[in-house]
Structures are given as C-alpha cells and as structure tokens.
Structure 1
Amino acid sequence: MFKPLPLFIGFRYTRAKRRNHFISFISLTSMLGIALGVTALITVLSVMNGFEKELRERMLGMAAHVVVTTFDTGWSGWREWQDKLKTYPHVTGVAPFIQGQGMITYNRAVYGTYFQGIEPTLEAKISQVTNKMQEGSLDALKAGEFGVVIGRELQKSLQAKLGDKITLVVPETTVTPVGVLPRMKRLTVVGIFEVGMHEFDSAYLLMHVDDAAKLMRIPEGEVHGLNLKLDDIFLAKQVSYDIREQLPFGVSAYDWTYRHANFFKAIQMEKRVMFVILALIVAVAAFNIVSTLVMVVTDKQADIAILRTLGATPFNIMLIFIVQGTLIGIFGTLLGLAGGISLALNVETIVPFLERMFNVQFLPGDVYYISDLPSELQWFDVYRITIMSMLISLFATLYPAWRASRTQPAEALRYE
C-alpha cells in the first residue's frame, strides 16, 4: 500500500515512545489544552445561543413581529388594511392596537407604565400573553368596563389583587373649572400575566382597545396601528419592506429587528468577544505544540541527518514534523468536539443536577431574566471552531518544521 514517506514517519514519531518523557508530557498537555479550549468554545457559544433564543422568544411573545402604524394620532382606514394584510404571505395574525404611556398609582405607590389597548379575541393570534396568564383571563377585558391586565412584578410592587381599583394617569391634560389637571382613570384589575421578562412584567398594562381610545381621546373607530405575527420571525424585515411599499402616505411599517436592534446587536457583540477570548485558550495550547516540536527536532537531529543523507529533501523533513504537530491538534480538536457537543446537548440537565447537589442556584430568578441555563447547539459554530482549531494547530507547526528542514547533516552527525 502506498504511503508517502513524510506521512509514514510523522505517524511513527507520534506513536513512538520517547526517551525524553518531558516531551511526551508537553505533547499530552498541548492535546488536552486544545481539547479544553474547543470544549469551552462550543459549550459557551451554545449557552449564549440558548440565552439569545430564549430572550427573543420571550420578547416576541409580547411584541409583534411587524408593526404597521400611522404618523397621526389615529388611523381610520385600518379595517380595510387588516383584511388585506391577512392575505400576505407568512402573515398568521393581525390585530389592532392603541398604545400610550403613563403612571399607575395604588396604595400611595407610583410606577411608570406602558399601556396597550388590544382586541382580546384577536390578541391570542399575535402574542403569547393568553398562555402566560397567571390569574384571570383576557376575556375579562370588556369594552366600557375599563378592566386591565397587569404584569406579575407590577402586581407585587402595587400589592394589588384581582378586583382592586388602580389609577392610571396619562400625560394628557383636562381643563376643569379649577384649572388644568392630568387625565386620570380608575381601572379594575381583571388579570395578571407573567412572561419572564422584567420589561413587560414590571411596567406593562393591557386594556380593551375601545377603553384605550376613550382614555387617549382618539375618535371612535380609529387605532394607532396593527400588530402582525409571522410564521417565521426571520422574514420580518422582508415582509415589513414589502408591506411598506404598498401602504398609503402617512402609514409605515417596521419589524422587530428595528425595534430591538440595539439589544440583539449587543448580544452578537458579546458572542464575538467571547469567541475571541476563548479562542486564546486554543492559541496557548498551540504554543505548546511549538515547544513540543522544537524539543522533538532537537532530539531527532541524528535521524534528520540520516534521512537527508538517504535522499530526503528539506521539504520532506518539513512535512514530517508538520504531520506530527498537526496530529496533536487533530486529536485534541476531536476530543474537544466530543466533550463540547456532549456538554452543549446536556447542559440543561447537568446544571439542575449540580444545583441540587450543592444546594445553590446559579441564576436566581429575582436577579436574572432567565433562571435556568438554556442551550442551543448550532452546527455552524461547531464547524468554524473545528476549522479554527485545525488552522491554529497547523500554523504552530510551521516554524519548528522549517527549522528541522534547515538541519545540516554534517553538523548533526559530527559528534555522533
């Protein structure tokens, strides 16, 4: 069977027992270092992917994928467009909304809030709030009754219960005989939801769209816009662009990537920085390959000289040590892949087990948005980590292999 000489000798050097055990120890350390770096990279990036996915799902569980809204105070032609948008590709739900900001007061407590008027019968098609109800129901939002559904954290801050009356103050003024006063309205708590995100659970109110229109003094039959849900969130940018091209003057559309752009850009930046930092572990291990090969080259001076006298070219000598160093990198990378993939696929089981064993909680629910440790293994990350590790290992072999190819047979055999 044909075996190229550099490959055959490179394999032989890798398997052979060395007189210098320190070289073997450095080789093993290099291999384990690369494995550790690859394992850490795959695991950490998978956990960050899991966090990003979980946050995105929780955020979009309350926020629309695409929002069609008017620049004016109200939009009277929304019903016609509601029917049109239902027929657009990838659109699975359309619902009207009215939104505003204000302050909520109860028991001398005052909190800033963001309220949204919704159509309860349509809300389940564009958000997950129906499935996140802890107490009460969205069906309790009846037009004219001024009921309100609040987040769990806001409910705890207010210490309000179902049926309690809370006061909403909006930044609109009302002229009365005693002067100009802010507009206030007593609302009845008819439901409590919890989506697991502080942004929504602590400062978000839902009421019937007709009640919100009266509160904001929007003409009857008008709304601020339409919320759309898609079957694929990653098509939101293209869908919003297509819709925007068809909308009349004064009405525009934007998608969730525009509304939460800074948030997801920050996550992507953190992933890139983390990749670079953890890649340094692999780079440090690769420097050990340099040390290993330098010592092997010194130890094999006589063997190199003999091979040269038998007709081996400098390029053949260089390839021998490139093969040896690359094999260390390959074995270390494969070991790291096995460990990293195993950890990434089972981290959601391992972490709860460790928490029970040591009676600790790594991510307290009262501090972090997400109290568990999600993980999502993306094979693209595995591919690029593998290629990066292989290339670093290959580059680490070049200088020692080049030094070996420069060995002069006469000088190496002078004292043999």
Structure 2
Amino acid sequence: MNFLFAWRYFKAKKSTNAINVIAWVSIVAIMGITFAFIVVLSVFNGFEGLVKSLYSSFYPDLKVSAASGKTIMLTPEQLQKLSAVKGVNTYSLVAEEKTVLINGDIQVIVTLKGVDTSYESVAGVSQKLIRGNFQTGSTDEPSLVLGNGVENAVGIESDKYLYPLTVYSFKRGMNISLTDPSQSFAAANINTSGTFLIQQDIDNKYAITNIGFMKLMMGLGPDEYSGIEIAMHTGYEAEDVKRGIQQLLGASYKVETKYEQNQSLYSVMNLEKWFIYGVLTLMLIVAAFTMIGSLTMLVLEKQKDIQVLKSMGANNNLIQKIFLTEGLLLAGIGSITGVLLAVVFCWAQVKYKIIAIQGGTFLIDYYPVQLVASDFILVLLTVSLVAFLASWFPSRKAAMQPIELRS
C-alpha cells in the first residue's frame, strides 16, 4: 500500500510545477552521483589491479628471510622438508645486497639480486623484458638483467652494450681502510643481457644476476642466503602455507605473504579508496538536499490527502511510511539508472578505450576499469541510507500533522 500511494504521488500532476521539477532534479542528481560512484571506484579498481599485477611479477607468493640480520642458513635437509610443505609449488634461493655499478665515470647504487635457475618459475620478471634476454650467466661468467631505470642511469642499452660494467660490493665483516679502501670491496666485471620494465620503484632499484656470483661477492657460505622466494600451488591460502613454513623453520626465520612484503603499498591503496568513497558520499549528501526540498513541498501539496487518510483511520506510522517510500522511490529510480549507465560506460571504456591516458609514459594508453560486485552493494546501500535519512524529516512532518475538522 505504501508503494502504491508513493507511486501515485510521483506520477500525479502537481498544482505547482516546481514540485515536479525539483523531484526530477533530485533523481538526476542521485543518478549522477551513483554513476560517478561506480565509474570512479571501477577506475580505481582497474589501476589497483594493474599495480598489483605489476608488483606480482617481481614479488613472490611467500618470502622467507632472517628475523634479524641479513642472511639465513638453509641446509639441503631443510629445503627438502620445505618443498614437502602442503601448498608449496617451487622455490628459488636468492642473495641480494646493495652494490655500486660503474660505467666509466657513471656510478649508480643498485640492489643486486642473485637468483638461481628456478627463479623464472617463482617470479614473472622474465615476462617483463623490453630488451635482450633473461640470462643471469654462471658464477664465473655472470650476466646482468637491469631494471629500466638502472639501465637509463648507467647510460647503456643492455642488449647492445659490448663492454662489461664494473660492480663493487662491500666485503662482509670488513671495515673501510683509509690507507687502502679497495681492500674493503669486492669488485668484478659483468656483462649485461637484458632489461625489464615492471614498476618505477622496482626498475630504479634492482638488477638481477647469478646467485653463485652474488654469493661470491657477498662472501656467503655454502648454505647461506639472503632469503628464499616461494611460489604456491593454486587453491591454497597464503596464510595457511605461511603457517606451515613458519612451524617448520622456527622463530629465527621471517615468513611474509605477498601482502606483507608490500604492506605500505596495499595500505595506501586501501586508504585512497576509502578517501574517494568519503568524498563521493559527501557529494551524495549535498545532492540529497534536493530530495528534502522535493518531499517537503510534496507534503505541503498533499495536506488535504493526509487529512482524509487520517480521518479514515490511517495512523501516523502509515503516513510516515508513505512519504518515506516516496523518497526511497526517487532514490531508487536515480540510483538504478545511474548504475545502468555506469555499467554501459565501463563496458564501452574496456571495449573501445573511450578515455585515453595522455602523455604516453604509462604502461597502458587508456584508463583501466574493473567492475566489482561489492562496490555495487556498497554504493546502493550508501544511497539507500542517505535517501532514508533525507526522507525521514519531511515524512515525520507529514505524519505529525493534526486532524482538522471543519464544519
């Protein structure tokens, strides 16, 4: 019954045309805000998914490192038990340290990461090459795969440069000698084989080489490593696999999921999304004032109807429900229309790339969008809540009108 009255009031011609105009203005305002809600959150989801996929190319599902200090000890027996942990697919041993990379007069500080032959099964760096090949060489003849930013910094093209670069690394446990500083460094020549492009923070920081060469530069023992990177089987939860590895290795080892390796990144992205949601909610609240005005004028328009309904036995709750339903009806028309328009727009953006990213410096040339069901639920609940609160005061005013009997 409430809906029937609300629908009749919505369709009925009003004595003052401004009531109709304001009602449609409120519908259009809610439609526009709902459209913006879905589109902006979908674009954010698209960029978030893109960034996560880029970071996933470099960071493994799980990483084991030292709880304190820089290196860990992993015996062949421990590695065998590790590979038997439920959910572990494969692993790669790594050794990394900050080094100085020299090309003539150019000196660049990079994090040099030594990896074994299983690394390509754990991380997707080899799939992100823009030049050359993913060749790390051997202990005696190492090769270097550079991040794009590192390559630019040393001023070469990795697949065309014929001369070796020189790499310097601090010797572990050695103090810098003022009389002969060279005694404190390990130095070697290394050729370049390729360049990867993943994400600026990674590209400007990392270069990848052979683990045997890197252990030699760092002075590590046979069973000593900086860490171990692990790829999981699909269908397993990272926390469950992490728990099994932690129980196996003990408290002196730190096991991190992909989220924990980039906790600050994911926290910032999550905060940004809630900030966007808050801004759009404020815009929705401002738009709801048009609904308050529309319903207030409708209550004044329907005073005689309210009197008649009350004289026929309608109580205050029924009157209030009628006008609450009227407000929710306006919000429902606006929000559903906004959602449909947003879905069509996002589909068109994915298919036809309507809005391009200017400048040509990003990995893609259009704004990515990703529709997520939880966003639709969140937006519709938010619109419903704001519409309910906006409708409450006019509907309450309608319900509290006294019955006036006239002779």
Q: TM-score, normalised by structure 1?
A: 0.88
Match of 1:399 among 373, 393, 399: 393
Aligned to 1:329: 331
Match of 2:192 among 189, 192, 195: 189
Matched, 1:108 2:105: yes
Q: How does 1:116-195 map to 2 (within 5 A)?
A: 116-119=113-116, 121-139=117-135, 141-161=137-157, 162=159, 163-172=162-171, 179-181=180-182, 182-195=185-198
Aligned to 1:383: 377
Q: Secondary structure at the match of 1:96?
A: strand
Answer yes or no: is the 8 Å Cα contact 1:104–1:168 preserved in 2: yes
Relative to structure 1, the CA distance from residue 89 to residue 54 in structure 2 (aligned partners, 3 Å threshold; closer, same or farther) is farther
What is the CA-CA distance between 1:396 and the residue it aligns to? 1.4
Answer yes or no: is the 8 Å Cα contact 1:92–1:125 preserved in 2: no
Match of 1:68 among 52, 57, 64: 64
Relative to structure 1, the CA distance from residue 270 to residue 259 in structure 2 (aligned partners, 3 Å threshold; closer, same or farther) is same
Report Cα offsets for 1:144-200 as digits up to 9, x if no partner.
Answer: 1122110122212322133332222223358889523233322111222222x0122
Report Cα offsets for 1:78-105 as digits up to 9, x if no partner.
Answer: 4333332323233222011101112222
What is the one-letter code of the residue matched to 1:170? Answer: S
Aligned to 2:354: 353
Answer yes or no: is the 8 Å Cα contact 1:293–1:321 preserved in 2: yes
Report Cα offsets for 1:28-51 as digits up to 9, x if no partner.
Answer: 111111111111111111221222
Across the two proteins, how many residue pairs are aligned to each other? 399
Matched, 1:8 2:4: yes
Distance 1:177 1:35 in 2: 72
What is the CA-CA distance between 1:75 and the residue it aligns to? 4.5
What is the CA-CA distance between 1:397 and the residue it aligns to? 1.2
What is the CA-CA distance between 1:202 and the residue it aligns to? 1.9
- Structure 1 residues not aligned, in runs of 5+: 356-360
Distance 2:90 2:120 in 1: 9
Aligned to 2:78: 81
What is the one-letter code of the residue matched to 1:108? Answer: D
| More deviation, 379-388/79-88 | 79-88
Task: Give the % identical residues.
Answer: 19
Aligned to 1:373: 367
Q: TM-score, normalised by structure 2?
A: 0.90
What is the CA-CA distance between 1:390 and the residue it aligns to? 1.4
What is the one-letter code of the residue matched to 1:179? Answer: D
Aligned to 1:201: 203
Q: Secondary structure at the match of 2:394?
A: helix
Distance 1:289 1:73 in 2: 62
Relative to structure 1, the CA distance from residue 371 to residue 237 in structure 2 (aligned partners, 3 Å threshold; closer, same or farther) is farther
Aligned to 1:358: none
Distance 1:354 1:41 in 2: 17
What is the one-letter code of the residue matched to 1:164? Answer: Y
What is the CA-CA distance between 1:216 and the residue it aligns to? 0.6
Match of 1:267 among 266, 269, 276: 269
Matched, 1:27 2:29: no
Aligned to 2:245: 243
Relative to structure 1, the CA distance from residue 132 to residue 26 in structure 2 (aligned partners, 3 Å threshold; closer, same or farther) is same
What is the CA-CA distance between 1:129 and the residue it aligns to? 1.3
Relative to structure 1, the CA distance from residue 321 to residue 73 in structure 2 (aligned partners, 3 Å threshold; closer, same or farther) is closer
Distance 1:94 1:7 in 2: 62
What is the one-letter code of the residue matched to 1:410? Answer: E
What is the CA-CA distance between 1:320 and the residue it aligns to? 1.9
What is the one-letter code of the residue matched to 1:288? Answer: T
| More deviation, 267-276/248-257 | 248-257
Tell me how large the CA RMSD over aligned residues is: 2.5
Relative to structure 1, the CA distance from residue 232 to residue 33 in structure 2 (aligned partners, 3 Å threshold; closer, same or farther) is farther
Runs of at least 4 residues off by over 6 Å: 174-177
What is the CA-CA distance between 1:243 and the residue it aligns to? 1.0
